[in-house]
Amino acid sequence: MLRTALICFTMLLFGGAAKAQVSDSTWPTHSLDRPQPPEVTPGGQPGGAPSDAIALFDGKTMNGWQTIDGRPAPWSAHDGVLEVKPGSGNIETVQTFGDCQLHLEWAEPVPPKGEDQGRGNSGVFLMGLFEVQVLDSYHSQTYADGMVGAIYGQYPPLVNASRPPGDWQSYDIIFRRPRFDRSGALLSAARITVLQNGILVQDSVKPTGPTSSVERAPYINLGDRLPLILQEHDAPVRYRNLWVRPLPPEPESLPATFVVALRASEADLRDFVGDYAMGTTTLKVAAAEHGLDARMSVDLHGVHYDLSWPLHLIDRDSFLGIAPDGGLPLHLGFVRDAKGSVTTAVTHMAESYGSFARRP
């Protein structure tokens, strides 16, 4: 009975399943009690960074970028443009990302030089593993799974949406990272959606593994966040307006019996301690003898609820709370900003989720 009541409670509180954003039959149509989503201010112009985005390029310096071996990035930055330096090697973000929305703009060299894969070649690697190809494919042919808009070596684009060399082009990419179990076995493949110049070219495709020019590599668990990589391939491709929005994890059904608790230092755990809020609902994460506790407080339709869980670390920035009374488990993940500070707590309970902003 208590479990049923809690399931109903979480549906009322968080607004139903987030996995596919389908209509939730537990809510009456047009219910005014249904929670509103958080507000994000759009960019001032098409392609502009929204209010919750992390800028990857300041338009003047290579701050936030480095070579693959950790040295200062040798590409040039000037007049709002980041330009590939041929022969210098790939660069990567200092910050790491997993699930994300990524925007970037690029322009191919003018006049065009070369043909096939030698014509304006570059690319962006999600988590450093999955390449979305950048290439001058305007009236220029190459193999289908290596042209612009391809998931390199695996998925050709749905259409060739290229603009002429010298014109600015854009990618808007939605990326969901692969998931693994504790043994390292793959639970779910990565998913990638790409719009080139506003046109859908990849529709939630699932790479068979990291992209490669020679073979189909298998999935390997290298962590839940890795740098983004921009490729140097002997062409002075220009980039601008690069920004990313880390996305909260999708709801996952992880039974409490599956938990393998990890150890973390007190200093690491202090990153998460604080007060969070979603509307009038509050979430408090506090230090405890075993590590951390979470307490949620909400008033709903005149009834006050207090729920609490001891938290067990199950992955980087991810916890599972097991209710001592046999109630529903709480899956709790945290989102960090560009400086690595925790800004948001994402909760998942009974196939419903909530996003709690950290209070100052």
Residue 95 has a pLDDT of 94
Residue 288 has a pLDDT of 86
Contacts of 221 (CB under 8 A, 6+ apart): 178, 180, 184
Chain-centre distance for alpha carbon 278: 21
Eight-state DSSP code of residue 36: P
Query: Which residues does the chain have with pLDDT short of 70?
Result: 1-27, 251-267, 315, 324-327, 349-353
Residue whose token pair is 């910050």: 95
The pair of three-digit structure tokens given for residue 176, joined into one six-digit string: 């969901």
Q: Give CA–CA dist 252/256, Å, rounded.
A: 12
User: Quick one: which H or E segment has residue 321?
Assistant: strand 318-321
> What would the pLDDT profile of 82-93 be if each residue is shown by its tens digit?
999 999 999 999
Residue 2 has a pLDDT of 39
User: Quick one: which H or E segment has residue 345?
Assistant: strand 342-349
Q: Are residues 28 and 132 in the same domain?
A: no
Phi/psi at 3 (nearest 5 deg)? Answer: -60, -45
Print the domain residue range for 13: 2-41+250-358
Q: What is the CATH number of the domain that holds 94?
A: 2.60.120.560
Residue whose token pair is 């014509």: 119
Establish if 49 belongs to a structural domain.
no
Establish if 46 belongs to a structural domain.
no
Residue 280 has a pLDDT of 87
Q: Are residues 254 and 352 in the same domain?
A: yes
Q: Give CA–CA dist 9/176, Å, rounded.
A: 29
Q: What is the CATH number of the domain that holds 11?
A: 2.40.128.50
Establish if 48 belongs to a structural domain.
no
Q: One-letter amino acid identity for 64?
A: G
Nearest to 146 by CA among 215, 154, 105, 108: 154
Q: Are residues 315 and 270 in the same domain?
A: yes
Domain boundary among 246, 268, 303: 246
Eight-state DSSP code of residue 333: E
